[in-house]
Structure 1
Amino acid sequence: MRPAVEGRRWRFWKTLSGRFLLLTVVFVLLAETLVFLPSIARYRYDRMDERLKLAQVAALTQLASDNMVSPDLEAELLANAAVFNVVLRRDDVRQLVLSSPVPGPVAANYDLRKATSWELIRDALALLAKAEVQVIRVIGHPVQEGGQLIEITMDTKVLRQQLLEFSFRILALSALISAVMAVLLFTAAQRLLVAPIRRVVRHMQAYAEAPEDARRVIAPTAEVMELRAAEEAMAQMQTQLIGAFKQKERLAQLGGAVAKISHDLRNILTTAQLFADRLEGSADPAVARSAPKLINSISRAVALCESTLVFGKAEEAPPKLRHFALAPLVAEVAEGEGLPISGLRGASAGEDAPAEALVSALLDVPAGLMLRADPEQLHRVLSNLLRNARQAIEATGQPGMIEISAGEDDNDWWIRVGDTGPGLPAKAREHLFAAFQGGARKGGTGLGLAIAAELVRGHGGRLELHRSDSEGSEFVIHLPKAEGVAEA
C-alpha cells in the first residue's frame, strides 16, 4: 500500500501542477530569505544603537554630577544600559565615564559608523551561529552632538537572545506567507493554466478515438493568448485531418470504381484488338499504313488498364528496362497527340497531322540517341507532358509550339519538354506532383504529373519543373545511366 502512495506522490511532482507548486514554494522562500537577512541585520544594529543611547544617558548623568555619582548609582546606570564600560570622546579627549569589572577579554570590535550592509548581515549571522557568550566593543556616534564618539563594552548574551526571538518570528511569518502565497498561486495556476491544458488534452484524446467526427473538433475558448493560439492551431489541424480522411475515403471508393472499370474496359479493348489485327491485311494502302498505329494504341490502352489495376494496389509495376532509340518514341507520342511535327532528326514527320492545327511540335532528338528505360512507361510520361502542354496552349486560343529535345552527359540522359503556353499558376506549382492537388487546368484531376513523376522515380530518375513564366513552361526528365545502386 505504501509503495502505491509513494508512487502517486512521485507522479504528482512530475505533473505541471506539482512542479508549479514546488517552484512557487522555492521562489517564495527565496524571496523571504532575501527579506530575512536584511531584517536580522537591521534588528541587531538597532539593538546595539539602543545600547549606545542608554549608555550616553548614563554617561551624561555622571558628567552632570561632576563625577560625584556613588558607586551604587554608577552600577545601576551601567546595569540599566546593559554595558560594562562607557567611553566618551569630547573635544578630542577620550574619557572613561563609567566603568565596572569586565568578565573577560574583548573578542570583537564593531564600529557602527562605518559598517556596510554586507558587514551587518555577516555579523548578524555570526552572532546567531555562536552560542557562547562573548564580550564585544561597540563604537558609534553620540546623539544630539554629545561628543565625537561613544564607545561601550557589553556581552552578547541578551543581544543574541533578542536576535533569536526576532528570527523565529520572521521565519514563522515567512512560512505563513509562503504557504498562503503557494496556495493562492497554485489555485490560480490550476484555473488559468492547468485546467485549459487538461481541456486540450481531453479534446486530443477524444479526437483520437474518432478522428473523422467533426463534432470533436476543439472550439477555442482559452483566455491566455498562448493557449488560445494552441487551441486555434489544433482546431485547424483537426479540420484539415477530417478533410484528409474524407478525401482518403473518396479516393478509396474511386480506386475501387476505376479498378472495376479498367477490368471491363480491358476486356472490351482486347476484343477491339482482335478486329484491328485484321486491318493489317487490308488492300487499302491508307488502312494498311494506319493499322499498326491503331494496333499499338489499342495495345497501349490494354496495358494502361492492366497497370491501372496494379496502381489500385497502391504501386506502379516496376519498369522493364531495355535499350531503345528515343527519336521514334518521341515522334509516336507527338503523332498520338495529333501534333504537326517539324525539325525531327532521325524520324519522319506526321503525314496525317492537320496543317492548320493550333499547336505544333518541334522535335530535336538525335537519331542515334539510345537510352535504357521502359518504353511503355516513358511513353506515358511524355504523353502526359505533351497533353498538358497542348491543353494549356489551346486554352489561350493562340497558336503555340511544344519543343521536345534530348541529350546525354556522363551521368544521365535528359529529355526537355517546353511550351509557349501561359505558364503554371502559383497555386498549381505548390503541389505540382501531388495527386489530385497539382491540377493547373479547370476540371483537371491533377493525376497526370503525379503519375509521370512516379514513373520517372521508378527508373531512379527525377522529373523537374525547370521554369514556368509568362513565356511558357519547361519540364526536364533525368534518367540515370547507372545500372544499380552500387554503381550510382
Structure 2
Amino acid sequence: MFLNSLSGRFLMLTVVFVMLAEVLIFLPSIARFREDYLLLRLERAQIASLALLATDEMISEDLERELLSNAGVFNVVLRRDEMRQLVLSSPLPSPVHATYDLRAASPLDLIRDALDVLRKRENRVIRVIGNPVQAAGLLIEVTIETAPLRANMIEYALRILALSAIISAVTAILLFVAVRVLLVAPIRRLVGHMTAYAEAPEDARRIIEPSGGVTEVREAEQALRSLQTQLTGALRQKERLAQLGGAVAKVSHDLRNILTTATLFADRMERSNDPAVARAAPKLVGSLSRAVNLCESTLAFGRAEEPAPRLERLFLRLLVAEVIESEQLASREGELTFITDVAPGLTIRADSEQLFRVLSNLVRNARQAIEATGRPGTIEIGGGEDEETWWIRVGDTGPGLPEKAREHLFTAFQGGARKGGFGLGLAISAELIRGHGGRLDLVRTDEDGTEFIIRLPKAAAVLEVAAQ
C-alpha cells in the first residue's frame, strides 16, 4: 500500500505538520482580525463624535442614528478631559454582556476572547474601550453587537483555512517530489544493487560503486561495498578451498597407493643384515604408516572437518622424542639444538597421530624460521600438568613472527609466516587441538623467539564430547 511506503508516510507527516503550523498561525490571525475589527469601530465612533462636536452638539435624532449606524455601534462615549464627555447614544437591544478593554489586552487575552466569540452563537451586546486616534482624548468607549463581528470572523477564518489547505497541498507535493528524488530514489537504487548482487555474489562486477549525493546514503553504499567485497572474497576463498579439497582427495588416493608400495619395500628392509638399515627400517615403516593414514583421512581442509580424535593413554616424552628425531633428520648438523623438558613418566590422554602432527607442525615451523636466519638456534619442548590440564610448550630462538602472520595466525591461507608458505600448518594444528577440547595459543613472539602452548583438558566429560 502507498501509505506503508516511505514516500506515503512522509507525505502524511508533511500534511499533518503543515496543518499544525497553519493552526498555530490561524489563532493569532483570528485574534488580530477581531482586534482590527473593534479598533475600526472605535475609530468610526470617534469620527461620529467629532462630527457631533463640530456642530456644538446640535444635531437631530435622525442624524445621530445615522452616525451611529455608519459607525456600527449603539453608544459612544469620548472622554476628552476629566470634566467633559461627548456622548452619542441609542437604545440597547439587550443589557451589556461583557466589557473588553483593548488598551491593556495581552496576546493570550485576545486569542481567548476571539475563540469565545466564535464559540458562542447568540447575539450579545458588549462594551469596548480603547484609546482615541491621534490622542484625541483620554479614552473612547462604544457598545456593539457580536453577531456582525462573529459573521466577519467566520468569513475570514474560512478564507484562512482555504488558503492553508492550498499551501499544505502545494508544500506536501513539493516535499513528496523532493523526498522521492533525494531519498527514495537512492534507496531504491541501493536495494536494486543488493538484489543484483544477491543473484551472483561471486561476480565482483556487481559490487556497488558509491555514487549517492546524500551523506547518509553514500555512507550506506560504502558500508555495503565493504560488506560485498568481504563476502565476495570469502566466497572465492571457499571455492578455492573446495577445489583444493577435490585436488587433495585425488592426490591422496594416488599417493596412498604409492606409499603402500613403499611400505612393502620397507618391511623387507627390516630383514636386512645391515644393522644400520635394520635400526632405521622400523622408523621408516612408522613414517610411511603415518603418511598412509594421513592420505586416508584426505588431509586437513581437504574435507569439511578433521576426524574425531581416538583418545588413548600415551607417554608424552616418547612422542616428543619421535618428533625431534624426525626433524633432526631434516635439519643440517650443528645448526639446531633440541631440548626436551618432559618428565619420563608423564602420560596424557590424546590421539597420538593427531598430536604428532601438531607437534611436528610447530617444531617444523620453528626449524624453518631458525634456518632462514642462517644462524644456530635452539628448539625446546616442555610438558607438564596441573589439576585441570596437561600442557605442552614449544619454543624457539628464531626471529619471531611477522606482523601479518600474527593478525591471521590460525587462519588458513592467510597466516603464512615464510615465503611460499600457505598458512595451513597452524590452522590444522589449532583445529586438531580444538577437537581434543583444548586450545593452542601463542604465548609470545619477539626478536628473542616464539613460544606456543598446547592445553589439553583432563576432565572426562570434555574429552568425551571432543572425541564425538
TM over 0.5: yes
Partners in 2 of 1:379 and 1:316 — Cα distance?
Answer: 15
Amino acid aligned to 1:112: L
Which stretch shows the higher mean deviation, 276-285 or 199-208?
A: 276-285
Amino acid aligned to 1:260: K
> Match for residue 121 of structure 2?
131
Partners in 1 of 2:167 and 2:320 — Cα distance?
Answer: 87
> Match for residue 247 of structure 1?
237
Contact 1:263 1:309 in 2 (8 A): no
Partners in 2 of 1:94 and 1:336 — Cα distance?
Answer: 131
Q: How far is 1:306 from its partner?
A: 1.5
Partners in 2 of 1:94 and 1:379 — Cα distance?
Answer: 124
Q: How far is 1:93 from its partner?
A: 5.3
**Percent identity at matched positions?**
67
> Match for residue 462 of structure 1?
439
- Which of 170, 177, 186 is residue 187 of structure 1 equivalent to? 177
Q: How far is 1:152 from its partner?
A: 1.9
Partners in 1 of 2:375 and 2:84 — Cα distance?
Answer: 117
Partners in 1 of 2:464 and 2:65 — Cα distance?
Answer: 110
Map 1:34-433 → 2, pairs under 5 A: 34-92=24-82, 95=85, 97-308=87-298, 311-338=301-328, 355-357=333-335, 359-433=336-410
Contact 1:307 1:317 in 2 (8 A): yes
Q: How far is 1:58 from its partner?
A: 2.0
Partners in 1 of 2:129 and 2:239 — Cα distance?
Answer: 92
- Which of 401, 423, 426 is residue 446 of structure 1 equivalent to? 423
Spell out, residue by residue over 1:383-420, the C-alpha distance to the aligned partner (whole angstroms, 9 max, x if none). Answer: 11111122222222222222222222222222222222
> Match for residue 346 of structure 1?
none
1:21 aligns with 2:11: yes
**Secondary structure class of the residue paired with 1:337:** helix
Question: What's the RMSD between the two structures over aligned residues?
Answer: 2.3
Partners in 2 of 1:356 and 1:334 — Cα distance?
Answer: 15
Partners in 2 of 1:166 and 1:294 — Cα distance?
Answer: 109
Partners in 1 of 2:334 and 2:314 — Cα distance?
Answer: 32
Partners in 2 of 1:379 and 1:93 — Cα distance?
Answer: 124
Q: How far is 1:281 from its partner?
A: 3.4
**Secondary structure class of the residue paired with 2:87:** strand
Change in Cα spacing, 1:162 to 1:486, as seen in structure 2 (3 Å) is farther
Q: How far is 1:309 from its partner?
A: 5.6
Contact 2:383 2:393 in 1 (8 A): yes
Could you list the runs of 5+ residues in structure 1 that have no partner in the other structure? 1-10, 340-351
Change in Cα spacing, 1:396 to 1:121, as seen in structure 2 (3 Å) is farther
Q: How far is 1:262 from its partner?
A: 0.8
How many residues matched? 465
**Secondary structure class of the residue paired with 2:429:** helix
Partners in 1 of 2:84 and 2:160 — Cα distance?
Answer: 40
Q: How far is 1:169 from its partner?
A: 0.8
Could you list the runs of 5+ residues in structure 2 that have no partner in the other structure? none
Query: Where in structure 1 do 4 or more consecutive aligned residues deviate above 6 Å?
Result: none
Amino acid aligned to 1:118: L
Q: How far is 1:311 from its partner?
A: 5.0
Q: How far is 1:310 from its partner?
A: 7.7
Partners in 2 of 1:313 and 1:184 — Cα distance?
Answer: 61
> Match for residue 483 of structure 1?
460
Partners in 2 of 1:271 and 1:290 — Cα distance?
Answer: 18
Q: How far is 1:267 from its partner?
A: 1.5
Amino acid aligned to 2:307: A
Amino acid aligned to 2:219: A
Amino acid aligned to 2:145: D
Contact 1:335 1:353 in 2 (8 A): no
1:471 aligns with 2:443: no
TM-score scaled by length of structure 1: 0.89
Change in Cα spacing, 1:60 to 1:470, as seen in structure 2 (3 Å) is farther
Change in Cα spacing, 1:221 to 1:282, as seen in structure 2 (3 Å) is same
Change in Cα spacing, 1:94 to 1:387, as seen in structure 2 (3 Å) is farther
Partners in 1 of 2:67 and 2:331 — Cα distance?
Answer: 132
Q: How far is 1:225 from its partner?
A: 2.3
Change in Cα spacing, 1:131 to 1:326, as seen in structure 2 (3 Å) is same
Change in Cα spacing, 1:115 to 1:470, as seen in structure 2 (3 Å) is farther
Amino acid aligned to 1:20: F
Q: How far is 1:487 from its partner?
A: 9.8
Partners in 1 of 2:375 and 2:34 — Cα distance?
Answer: 99
Contact 1:310 1:317 in 2 (8 A): no
